[in-house]
């Protein structure tokens, strides 16, 4: 594997190592950001424009020196070291150092007991964070960890970040200030976000799976169903919310029970219905594709040995199609976690509420309070389901 | 015993199987041969009602196959197909246990039966019971396919091109194994193939099908000596029919009393092989000798040649 790595050319025993192209880009971007962008932005209150500060200005000399040394090491690894383990370890160390530096800057710039000043991570912080993240991801990909290890790595990363947050390490940074103000609402909106994403997925699976089986069994239905679902996919989300408002509003007006159940023109109902409709295509299409992939001989043998149609479907066909169906579920889940954000626009709630409120108040920290958990959720869902698909696919290979 | 009476299958205007009748005796092997599209697979699939007949009926050991729901009928009939159709997500043991589980056997009985079958098919339970099908060779997969079909001790075994995917050497071995296992369990076998050599090798009786009709159902030798239609002799092959005939008789059956100073041959080999041995050694006759050394008689070239004529 090491021979195939880009940018590494071993000549004779000594070895002449070329510069890693990805590493070069990341180091250039990170260095430029540290030189020209503020590491943190100090604001005397939430609304006023900020006052940029560099890494050196905000940390004590030993801290700045240590952090810079780790960043230099990571940069050197990115440029010249081919060993993926070393690259990953240095990327993670530098990541921790940068995060702690930002936290320390928050602590240093906030007068004791002050709740008004805001210390926001600046452009340099975010660019370096992304560069180190990419360096780590690239190194992880080169290590080709198995599905179990990947989930374990995700769990460990989330646990470390969670522990740091719980211990208040980042409490003086602006995003955590926004969180402190909105803690109760944050928990509610996060729950609502998950409820909308998983609820619409469950509904789509409940309807899409039988519909996919039906399309498989009755090929004449297939083109019609798939075309209809395809057309729905092409409607922009906001437009679909709008389209659904009228009929659901009318329904609520006509049927008091619907209104009492929360089925109205605005709120969660149109959001769930829209997400459900978007989710149908990946589930139905993947169910059909998965069933088509099942060995005809196995199905014939199953019938020939005396399984009932239901037994053939549940014990053979669906089990063998499961990896492909789960790939559809993965698409839907990631798509839903992202799209639920827009539900906030029509009063559906979810973490999108912070995003749109933040945009309205030009409070970028509030936007991030909504956006970062959404990205983390989507990333985690994708990683976990990918691992699951890989495990199942390996069993039946 | 399988009794097929006037079995017919029509799809719209097309008649795929046309009023076919024949009987397979208990504990014998019948082989259906025909070109592709002759209706032989459809005929086989009507026996276990994977295809429902348009008219006619099938009796298995005297019972009409329409008496039970199709899936219950199929649990009493072994079924092996080309490509075997092993369940890729289940282990070898789970595959073999399929029908016993459907029948609700208790776990101990299932385990004992799986172990017995693995041993019968020369698959060491310790290394193969928990293997997945894709970890096996083609020949091993084929054996698991047959073992799975025989798991619930069916009286009847249906096989649709069961050796089609095997290379020639393994195929011959698998055919011999099938003979041995069929005799051991006393199973009645109905096998479909397009390979006339396979039909002659395995069949107590051979059914030749063309365009949905059963042209002849007879002992292999009779297909050669008294073909009922021109198509039958085309299928059996005119050029080497004398040699085919010789391959159907064993040296033990043809041996006559008398001494011989020629080479010794076993009574189980065919006359075709004995003739080849005589040609090779240049002798006029061979001694037929049992495995324990008893001389059963002699076999002259003239005796052999006389058997190669109708």
What does the pLDDT look like over A189-200, one tens digit per residue? 999 999 999 999
Instruction: Specify the pLDDT at position A109.
Output: 86
A77 touches chain B (CB under 8 A): no
pLDDT band, residue B100 (cuts 50/70/90):
very high
Residues A335-356 have a mean pLDDT of: 89
- pLDDT, residue B127, reads 92
| Window 240-299 of A, Cβ < 8 Å to B | 295, 297-299
B99 touches chain A (CB under 8 A): yes
Which pTM does this prediction carry? Answer: 0.81
- Nearest chain A residue to B101 by CA: give it: A307
Q: Encoding tokens for residue B192?
A: 């479909």
Provide mean pLDDT across the span B72-94: 93
Q: Does A112 touch chain B (CB under 8 A)?
A: no
Look at residue A1 in the predicted model and tell me its pLDDT. 40
Are A387 and A151 in contact by the 8 Å Cβ rule? The answer is yes
Which of B73, B79, B132 lies at the smallest CB-CB distance from A301?
B79
Which of A95-99, A202-206, A256-260 is predicted with the least confidence, judged by mean pLDDT?
A: A256-260
Please give the angle made by the CA atoms of A359, A362 and A367, to the nearest 5 degrees.
Answer: 50
Mean pLDDT along residues A116-143: 90
Residue A92 has pLDDT above 80, yes or no: yes
- The answer to whether the Cβ–Cβ distance between A300 and B73 falls below 8 Å is no
In chain B, residues 17-76 whose CB comes closer than 8 Å to chain A: 48, 50, 71-76
Of B71, B88, B158, the CB nearest to A320: B88
Average pLDDT, chain B: 92
Cα Rg of chain A, angstroms: 26
Q: What mean pLDDT is predicted for residues B192-196?
A: 92
Question: In chain A, which residue's Cα lies nearest the Cα of B83?
Answer: A297
**Of A293, A299, A304, A315, which to mutate for an interface test with B (greatest number of B Cβ within 10 Å)?**
A304
- Measured between CA atoms, the residue of chain B closest to residue A295 is B85
Q: Among partner residues B74, B89, B132, which is closest to A304 by beta-carbon distance? A: B74
Residues B92 and B136: beta-carbon distance below 8 Å: yes
Q: What is the mean pLDDT of residues A81-110?
A: 89
Interchain contact, B48 vs A395, CB within 8 Å: no
B40: how many CB neighbours lie within 10 A of its CB?
A: 27
Mean pLDDT computed over A79-94:
90
Q: Which segments of A32-159 are extended strands (E)?
A: 40-43, 51-53, 118-121
Alpha carbon distance A318, A337 (integer Å):
26
Q: Do A297 and B102 touch (CB under 8 A)?
A: no
* Burial A81-114, CB ≥16 within 10 A → b, else e: bbebeebbebbbbbbebbbbbbbbbbbbbbeeee
B contacts of A307 (beta carbons < 8 Å): 71, 98, 102
Residues of B in contact with A299 (CB under 8 A): 85
Q: Do A396 and B89 touch (CB under 8 A)?
A: yes
Chain Cα centroid distance, residue B218:
15
User: What whole-number percentage of chain A has pLDDT above 90?
Assistant: 50
Contact: B72, A306; criterion CB under 8 Å: yes
Note whether A301 contacts B72, CB cutoff 8 Å: no
Pairs of CB atoms within 8 A across A/B: 65
From A307's Cα to the closest Cα of chain B, the distance in A is 6
**Least Cα separation, residue A319 to chain B (angstroms):** 8
pLDDT of residue A212: 95
Mean pLDDT, residues B217-237 taken together = 89
- Does any CB of chain A come closer than 8 Å to the CB of residue B84? yes
Q: Residue A396: its pLDDT value, please?
A: 56
Mean pLDDT of B26-38: 93
Predicted confidence (pLDDT) per residue in B159-191, tens digit: 999 998 888 888 888 998 999 999 989 999 999
Per DSSP, the residues of A188-207 read HHHHHHHHHHHHHHHHHHHH
Name the residue in chain A with its Cα closest to that of B88: A396
Residue window 177-196, chain A: list those with CB within 8 Å of chain B.
none
pLDDT band at residue A169, thresholds of 50, 70 and 90?
A: confident
Phi then psi for residue A348, to 5 deg, are -85, -10
Confidence of residue A10 (pLDDT cuts 50, 70, 90): very low
Q: How far is CA B56 from the centre of its chain?
A: 25
DSSP-derived 3-state class of residue B58: strand
Answer whether B135 touches A (CB < 8 Å): no
* Low-confidence winner among A210-219, A256-265, B241-250 (lowest mean pLDDT): A256-265
Instruction: Report which secondary-structure segment, H or E, holds A156.
Output: helix A147-166
What is residue A395's predicted lDDT score, i.e. its pLDDT?
A: 64
In a mutagenesis test of the A interface, which of B45, B52, B60, B71 is the best target, namely the one with the most A β-carbons within 10 Å? B71
Query: Does B86 contact chain A (CB < 8 Å)?
Result: yes
* Contact check, Cβ <8 Å, B74/A303: yes
CB B194 within 8 A of CB B36: yes
Nearest CA in chain A to B82: A297
End-to-end CA distance of chain A: give it in Å, rounded.
24
Chain mean pLDDT for chain A: 87
| Residue A125: pLDDT over 60 | yes
Chain B closest CA to A304's CA: distance in Å? 6
Task: Tell whether the model's pLDDT for residue A11 goes beyond 70.
Answer: no
pLDDT for the residue A244: 83
* pLDDT cut 70: percent of chain A above it: 95
| Interval A86-115 mean pLDDT | 88
Q: Is A300 on the interface with B (CB under 8 A)?
A: yes
pLDDT value of position A160: 93
Question: What pLDDT is recorded for position A63?
Answer: 84
In whole angstroms, what is the distance from residue B111 CA to residue B114 CA? Answer: 5
Q: Which of A297, A308, A311 sits opposite B85 (nearest CB)?
A: A297
Q: Is A4's Cβ below 8 Å from some Cβ in B?
A: no
Q: What is the mean pLDDT of residues B114-142?
A: 92
Task: State yes or no: pLDDT of A8 exceeds 50.
Answer: no
């Amino acid at each position: 594997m090491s021979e195939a790595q880009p940018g590494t050319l071993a000549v004779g025993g000594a070895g002449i190592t070329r510069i890693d192209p990805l590493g070069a880009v990341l180091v250039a971007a990170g260095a430029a950001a540290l030189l020209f962008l503020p590491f943190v932005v100090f604001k005397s209150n939430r609304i006023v424009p900020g006052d940029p500060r560099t890494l050196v200005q905000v940390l004590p000399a030993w801290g700045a020196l240590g952090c810079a040394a780790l960043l230099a090491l990571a940069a050197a690894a990115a440029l010249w070291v081919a060993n993926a383990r070393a690259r990953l370890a240095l990327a993670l160390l530098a990541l921790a150092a940068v995060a702690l530096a930002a936290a320390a800057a928050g602590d240093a710039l906030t007068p004791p007991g002050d709740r008004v000043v805001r210390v926001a991570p600046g452009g340099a912080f975010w660019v370096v964070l992304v560069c180190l993240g990419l360096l780590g991801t690239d190194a992880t990909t080169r290590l080709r960890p198995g599905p179990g290890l990947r989930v374990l790595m995700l769990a460990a990363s989330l646990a470390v970040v969670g522990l740091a947050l719980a211990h208040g390490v980042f409490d003086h940074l602006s995003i955590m200030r926004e969180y402190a103000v909105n803690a109760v609402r944050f928990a509610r909106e996060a729950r609502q976000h998950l409820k909308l994403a998983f609820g619409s997925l469950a509904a789509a699976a409940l309807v899409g799976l039988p519909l996919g089986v039906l399309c498989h069994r009755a090929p004449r239905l297939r083109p019609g169903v798939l075309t209809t679902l395809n057309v729905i996919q092409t409607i922009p989300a906001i437009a679909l919310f709008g389209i659904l408002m009228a009929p659901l509003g009318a329904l609520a007006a006509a049927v008091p029970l619907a209104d009492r159940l929360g089925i109205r023109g605005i709120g969660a109902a149109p959001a769930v219905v829209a997400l459900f409709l978007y989710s149908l295509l990946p589930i139905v299409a993947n169910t059909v594709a998965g069933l088509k992939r099942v060995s005809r001989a196995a199905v014939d043998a199953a019938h020939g040995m005396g399984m009932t149609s239901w037994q053939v479907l549940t014990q053979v066909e669906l089990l063998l199609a499961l990896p492909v169906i789960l790939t559809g579920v993965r698409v839907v889940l990631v798509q839903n976690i992202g799209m639920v954000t827009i539900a906030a626009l029509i009063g559906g709630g979810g973490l999108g509420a912070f995003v749109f409120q933040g945009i309205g108040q030009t409070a970028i920290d509030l936007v991030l309070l909504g956006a970062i958990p959404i990205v983390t959720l989507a990333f985690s869902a994708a990683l976990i389901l990918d691992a699951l698909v890989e495990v199942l696919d390996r069993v039946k290979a | 015993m399988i009794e097929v009476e006037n079995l017919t299958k029509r799809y719209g205007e097309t008649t795929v199987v046309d009023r076919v009748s024949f009987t397979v005796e208990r504990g014998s092997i019948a082989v259906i041969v025909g070109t592709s599209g002759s209706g032989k697979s459809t005929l086989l699939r009507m026996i276990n009602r994977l295809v429902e007949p348009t008219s006619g009926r099938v009796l298995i050991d005297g019972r009409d196959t329409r008496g039970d729901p199709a899936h219950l009928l199929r649990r009493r009939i072994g079924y092996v197909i080309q490509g075997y159709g092993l369940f890729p997500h289940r282990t070898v043991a789970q595959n073999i246990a399929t029908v016993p589980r459907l029948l609700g056997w208790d776990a101990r009985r299932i385990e004992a039966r799986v172990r017995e079958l693995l041993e019968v098919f020369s698959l060491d339970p310790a290394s193969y019971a928990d293997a997945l099908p894709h970890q096996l060779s083609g020949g091993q997969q084929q054996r698991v396919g047959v073992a799975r079909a025989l798991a619930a001790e069916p009286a009847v075994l249906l096989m649709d091109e069961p050796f089609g995917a095997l290379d020639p050497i393994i195929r011959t071995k698998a055919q011999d194994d099938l003979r041995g296992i069929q005799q051991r369990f006393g199973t009645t076998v109905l096998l479909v193939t397009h390979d006339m050599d396979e039909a002659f090798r395995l069949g107590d009786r051979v059914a030749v099908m063309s365009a949905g009709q059963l042209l002849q159902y007879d002992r292999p030798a009779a297909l050669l000596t008294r073909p009922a239609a021109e198509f039958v002799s085309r299928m059996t092959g005119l050029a080497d029919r004398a040699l085919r005939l010789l391959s159907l008789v064993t040296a033990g059956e043809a041996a006559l009393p008398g001494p011989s100073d020629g080479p010794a041959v076993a009574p189980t080999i065919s006359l075709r092989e004995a003739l080849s041995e005589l040609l090779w050694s240049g002798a006029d006759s061979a001694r037929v000798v049992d495995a324990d050394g008893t001389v059963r008689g002699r076999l002259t070239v003239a005796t052999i040649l006389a058997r190669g004529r109708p």
